[in-house]
Amino acid sequence: MVAVGAALAAAEAAVLLLRPRERRLAPAPIDARSYFTAAEIERARAYQRPQLALAAGSAAVDLALIAALVARPPAALSRGRSRPVAAAAGAGAALSVALAAAGLPLAAVARRRSRAVGLSTQSWRGWAGDVGKTTAIGATFAGGVAAGAVALMRRRGAGWWLPASGAVTALGALLAGAAPIVLDPLFNRFDPLPAGPARDDVLELAGRAGVRVGEVFAVDASRRTTSANAYVAGLGPTKRVVLFDTLLEHFTREEVRLVVAHELAHVRHRDVMRGLAFSAIVAPSATAAAARLAAGLAPAGAPPGPATVPALALAAGLVVAPIGLVANQLSRRIEVRADLFSLRLTDAPEPFVSFERRIAVRNVADPAPPRWLTALLATHPPTVERIGLAVAFSAERPERPERPAARPTPAGS
């Protein structure tokens, strides 16, 4: 456990090193009931809390399955000694498929609940097709990682974790750069944002922000969901801002401008690279901790091979999961900076409040989740804090000190 503690300490240090340094604006304290009806809050909580329980149950199923394989390795894992690296690849792929299959019942329940509240629009057949693609991709990556780890263990002995940490960092960078053009198109259609007001706004805001945005795409998210979102992805020539078609269709021009400005903040501050830097800082201690745990969990006396794969998977999960909780601190700080950047770039706190209210209702998101839940799992600040930031920003402006209206106008509801 000392090694795991060292990995967590490295993650905390990375958060301190990489956190935004700009002056922060404290959100004004607000009551969610001033912006959301009791029915809206109850609907969100009635949906989100069981979904969270289902996600926790799925994680528990994964953990139980891997732990069972570690405790009682199947006889098939003792085969392939003549070609241990290839056999490890097969074991990694098989384990990935088994985990996907074990989680399917809970995933289907979660999707049925999503359909019931109107979030999911995809047919069950389409969903099954996506599950098949995801499973195939996951098995490919798992097989490659398992083969690479076993090969390093056999060649470098106990010090295998050091080159493995470099490989983890390089793989993360490769995925960040390649995913937008290799993986994402397997699931959605991405079209360049056509000429018009939305594209004009992107170019105008990018010019004022002083950033080269790369390409801007609209993605056909509506084929799967009614929720709205936007994100930045890619590195170098694959860098892009992606806007959901649901965002472009159902939100006002002022609201979309705010979302674009938020995403431009991520481009300006190189937040994709910041995430990669976090991984690079944490990777050595994390892989060292996983190696230490795997050595204790693997079958005693057996050379590295397919039988080692379940121990590697369990060790990686026990290390990566708590590091992810630490990384959420950095993510929330980055998102707060992007929110403040968008407010300053657009000077539009009232549309910001309207957008946060409307997107929370549309995405059936709890506007004020418990603090412990935000501290542990949230990658973004809760809606009430984001609205509070706009309220504080509005009060700070000397030329327009009034507070944003607590209720949206009929046109913005």
User: Is the predicted pLDDT of residue 402 greater than 80, yes or no?
Assistant: no
Return the HEC string of 230-276.
Answer: EEEECCHHHCEEEEEHHHHHHCCHHHHHHHHHHHHHHHHCCHHHHHH
Over residues 322-367, the pLDDT tens digits come to 999 999 999 999 999 999 999 999 999 999 999 999 999 999 999 9
Q: What is the DSSP code string of 168-185?
A: HHHHHHHHHHHHHHHTGG
What is the tens place of the pLDDT at every residue in 162-204? 999 999 999 999 999 999 999 999 999 999 999 899 999 999 9
* Residue 336, both tokens: 């707060």
192 bridge partner residues: 217
Percentage, residues of the chain above pLDDT 70: 96
Q: H/E element holding 86?
A: helix 84-116
- Confidence label for 152 from pLDDT (cuts 50, 70 and 90): very high
- Do the beta carbons of residue 106 and residue 54 sit within 8 Å? yes
Confidence of residue 410 (pLDDT cuts 50, 70, 90): very low
Closest CA to 77 of 240, 282, 237, 308: 308
* pLDDT at residue 407 greater than cutoff 70: no
Single out the residue of 164, 133, 248 nearest to residue 202, CA to CA: 248
Give pLDDT, residue 398: 62
The Cα 244–Cα 184 span in angstroms is: 13
Strands 240-244 and 215-219: parallel
Mean pLDDT, all residues of the chain: 92
Q: What average pLDDT score do residues 226-250 get?
A: 92
pLDDT of residue 130: 97
Residue range of the domain that includes 188:
2-412
Confidence of residue 397 (pLDDT cuts 50, 70, 90): confident
Per-residue model confidence as pLDDT tens digits over 101-112: 999 999 999 999
Give yes or no for residue 138 having a pLDDT over 70. yes
Structure tokens at 389: 């930031």
Q: Quick check: helix, strand or coil at residue 219?
A: strand
The pLDDT, as a whole number, for residue 80 is 62
Q: Are 247 and 217 in contact (CB under 8 A)?
A: no
Q: Crossing angle for the helix pair 309-346 and 84-116, nearest 10 degrees?
A: 50
* pLDDT value, residue 401: 44
pLDDT in tens, 64-120: 999 999 999 888 887 767 799 999 999 999 999 999 999 999 999 999 999 999 999
Question: The tokens of 262 are what?
Answer: 């938020």
- Residue 21 identity (one-letter amino acid): R
State the pTM of this model. 0.91
Which DSSP string do the residues of 375-394 spell out, in sequence order?
HHH-SS--HHHHHHHHHHHH
Q: Per-residue confidence at 248, pLDDT binned at 50, 70, 90?
A: very high
Q: Provide the domain count of the chain.
A: 1
- At 412, the pLDDT band (50, 70, 90 cuts) reads very low
* 405 has a pLDDT exceeding 50: no
Sheet holding 240-244, edge to edge: 190-192, 215-219, 240-244, 230-233
Q: Kindly compute the dihedral angle of the four CA atoms of residues 139, 141, 147, 152, in this order, to the nearest 10 degrees.
A: -150
User: What is the pLDDT confidence band of residue 399, given thresholds at 50, 70 and 90?
Assistant: low
Q: Which amino acid is at 94?
A: A
Rounded Cα–Cα distance for residues 408 and 139 (Å)? 47
Contact 404, 391 (CB under 8 A): yes
Query: 411 falls in which pLDDT band (50, 70, 90)?
Result: very low
Residue 403 has pLDDT above 50, yes or no: no
Residue 307: closest CA among 36, 74, 5, 63: 74
Where b means 16+ CB within 10 Å and e means fewer, 286-315 reads bbbbbbbbbbebbeeeeebbbbbbbbbbbb
Distance between CA atoms of residues 247 and 226, nearest Å? 9
Strand partners, 233: 240
CA 263 to chain centre: 15
Angle (deg, nearest 10), helices 161-182 and 124-156: 150
Reported as a single tens digit per residue, the pLDDT across 271-327 is 999 999 999 999 999 999 999 999 999 888 788 999 999 999 999 999 999 999 999
